[in-house]
Structure 1
Amino acid sequence: MLSKYVLLALCGLGLSVAPAAVPTKNPNTLPAIALPTYGRYRLTEAKQLELISSAVHFGFSFEGRQCEIFASLPGAADHNYLQYELDGVYQRRLRIDGSSKAPLTITAPGPGRHTVWVYKATEAHTGPIFVQKITGQRLKALREPAAPLIEFIGNSITCGAAMDASEVPCGTDAYHDQHNAYQAYGPRVARALHTRFVLSSVSGIGAYRNWNSDGPTMSQVYEKTDFQEASSQRWNFSVFTPRVVSIALGTNDFSSGDGKRPRLPFDSAQFVGHYLNFVGLVKSKYPRAQIALLSSPMVNGPNRTKLQNCLTAIKTGTDAAHPADQPVALYFFQPMQARGCSGHPSVEDHAILAKELEPFFRPLVAGK
């Protein structure tokens, strides 16, 4: 069923159901800084579009059979990945090598006008991808249709990390070689509900401690554009206004660590206290947003119950502190034996998680 916002759009009440084209001066060259971008990004002094966060994306259309994306990386030894849709159908990942100067070529199956949406497959800590321009015939930058926005905050699961070994086997080369942010549960839920999305996620991060360290935790990096504590770039939270903010932290707080560094037992009081403070930080950025707390499909056994109890306490504390706001929504995942790399959910597992979450998010994005 379509959300009420999509239904209003269909009735012609001022909302667009198709991507809106942005006028450009040269129809055969589209500068990247002219591309409306969704997710965390930066426009550089060199007039490049710096793609930062997981699944940060932009769209354009072209005519003919082919177009080219000119992209680069900070270092010659680096590699990274974009991925794309062509005419509404997901295609594949595109590897970028820092030493290569060749553009990425997208080929359509036939002539006519085609629509492309390009996504960063990897997370902020993988490093940025710089886009200089798009070339092709009769290019037009696109805006997303007006619709509610969901911000998905989380860890490696939300990033879509370690999920896709179809090109590079698990345990080989770099950690981000199995990243596939487009296929992660958040973007899947958003597409199913005809909403927009942004991902604010960092592998290994937690609410009061990380996978193998005491920090920096999500509350310490959330306000930084690239989720790096030492960064001087602070994100402008007025760029996007989410209807719903989904927070999925806890997997790494419960982790036993890497076996190399000392790890104290899980501390419920610290977890709840730090998580409450982080929810307060999010509410200070988006006072009218619906907050949704998700558990973890990777935390099972007695810890699953403990995590659920902690999230319930966080909801109770937040609702008491903000009695005039919408009550916090809770969702507890069904237990899952993940089939991706290093115990993470796979592409197929993320499809299961998204299907599980759809009925939970549907009334939230509708404002019910």
Structure 2
Amino acid sequence: MKVRTSLILLSLCVAQFGCAPLKSTSTAVDTLSAAQLNPFGRFILHEQRGLELISSAVHFGFSFEGPTCRIYANIPSRTGHNYLQYELDGLYQKRIKIEGSSTEPIEIQVPEGKHELKIFKATEAHTGPIFISKVEAKEIKSTPIEAAPMIEFIGNSITCGAAADASELACGAGEYHDQHNAYMAYGPRLSRMLNVNFMLSSVSGIGIYRNWNSEGPSMPQVYEKANFQENGTTLWDFGTYRPDVVSIALGTNDFSNGDGKTPRKPFDAEAFVSNYVKFVSLVKSKYPEAKVALLSSPMVKGAARTKLQDCLNRVQAQIDAMYPNDKVVKFFFEPMEARGCTGHPSVEDHLILAEQLKPFFKSLIK
């Protein structure tokens, strides 16, 4: 992966978002401001509100001396809630619920000594952003972005890790995002297996030409918006990262029968293939050097599974004809009986998906 230098990132940040100047983290300090963090994923840095975490599993890290650290996080809705989750010294710990009404920092207690902490957004962009204003701890230093290959995972609720984790709140209870666990989704798990960087560009219910229970906006209509919202006013800067591989896993919702209430036309293979080809061309225009991988869906079964695979074969053939020197590749999942909420893969199922994908992606990573 190729990441822009700090100087270029800083100049873009100041020009586009008016963020405060980046301070050196080479010496021990007690506070890291939002501008001193090194996030990975979709984010925006604001002068007043700090670091806006947008996409599923967008993350940052820091080292510090125990026994405690404080994370100043907030969300826009006073009556809502959202979730972070964290990894301590390389081991996953738990999710952290952020109440919109809370004014207190998140305090994490650890044993004495030096530690490495990684903070992840557990939920997706459509759940809403989480803002980080600062982090406090003894001898705190921001973790730099590792020089490693990168995979961008484009997809739907499966890629988000939605409805995967009912360990804290049972399926059917609470809000939709109460069972989100982006850290345990197949993309991040696969990336940890391969020791690569990753970014999730995913939206629940979304498809390539239609969504779960609506005609749109589909992924091609929101992909360029920083927050994946059709009415989003900020465009994502695709020069921020240069993935080596872009994984596209769309189709589950295009094949869906919908919610049973909204009128639903039969699946349109021509519209699916046409929109998919245009979207792959868009991705290639953003990342000319990246390898594009087309993934099927473990949730689509029977005749629909065969039709989805046929459509992906057609997409591959058309893209390869357009880009003969940069052919796409594809992977077909085995059908899965999902054990998560509302027919989604569970945390355990995501491990199975990651294991299926491991040899395929290992061959694509240089």
Secondary structure at the aligned position of 1:118 is classed as strand
Q: SS of the residue aligned with 1:270?
A: helix
| Aligned equivalent of 1:14 | none
1:198 Cα deviation from its structure 2 partner: 0.2
Q: Which amino acid aligns with 1:71?
A: A
Identical columns (%): 60
Alpha-carbon distance between aligned partners in 1 of 2:237 and 2:281, rounded to the nearest angstrom = 17
Offset at residue 44 of structure 1 (A): 1.3
**Structure 2 equivalent of residue 347 of structure 1:** 347
Match of 1:56 among 55, 58, 63: 58
CA deviation map 1:187-222 (0-9, x unaligned): 001000010000000000000000000000000000
The CA deviation string for residues 168-194 of structure 1, in whole angstroms up to 9 with x for no partner, is 111111100000000000000100001
Q: Does 1:151 align with 2:162?
A: no
Contact 1:33–1:47 (CA under 8 A) maintained in structure 2: no
**Aligned counterparts, 1:251-330, within 5 A:** 251-325=252-326, 327-330=327-330
Unaligned runs of 5+ in 2: 1-22
**Secondary structure, in 3 states, of the residue corresponding to 1:303?**
helix
Structure 1 residues 1-368: aligned runs within 5 Å: 23=25, 27-108=29-110, 110-325=111-326, 327-366=327-366
Q: Which amino acid aligns with 1:182?
A: Y
After superposition, give the CA deviation of every residue in 1:117-142 in whole Å (9 maximum; x if it has no partner).
Answer: 00000000000000011111010001
Distance 1:143 1:26 in 2: 15
Q: Which runs of 5+ in 1 are unaligned?
A: 1-20
CA distance in 2, matches of 1:22, 1:252: 46
Contact 1:22 1:140 in 2 (8 A): no
Amino acid at match of 1:115: E
TM-score, normalising length: structure 2: 0.92
CA RMSD of the aligned region, Å? 1.2
Distance 1:353 1:75, change over 3 A: same
Q: Is the 8 A contact 2:28 2:141 kept in 1?
A: no
Q: Counterpart of 2:365 in structure 1: which amino acid?
A: V
Runs of 4+ in 1 over 3 A off after TM superposition: none
- Structure 1 residue 45 displacement after superposition: 2.8
Distance 2:149 2:24 in 1: 21
Counterpart residue type for residue 59 of structure 1:
G
Count residues with an aligned counterpart. 344
Question: Is the alpha carbon distance of 1:22 and 1:45 closer, same or farther for their aligned partners in structure 2, counting shifts above 3 Å?
Answer: closer
Aligned-pair CA distance for 1:26: 6.6
C-alpha displacement of 1:47: 5.0
**Kept after mapping to 1: 8 A contact 2:49/2:131:** no
Kindly state the Cα deviation for residue 107 of structure 1 after the two structures are TM-superposed.
1.5
Q: For 1:157, what is the secondary structure of its paired residue?
A: helix
The one-letter code of the counterpart of 2:347 is V
Q: Could you say what secondary structure the match of 2:143 adopts?
A: strand
Q: Which amino acid aligns with 1:60?
A: F
- Normalising by structure 1, we get a TM-score of 0.92
Instruction: State the distance in 1 between where 2:246 and 2:360 align.
Output: 13
Q: Distance in 1 between matches of 2:141 and 2:132?
A: 16
1:344/1:22 Cα in 2 relative to 1: closer, same or farther (>3 Å)? farther
What is the alpha-carbon distance in structure 1 between the residues aligned to residue 66 and residue 36 of structure 2? 21
Q: Is the 8 A contact 1:22 1:142 kept in 2?
A: no
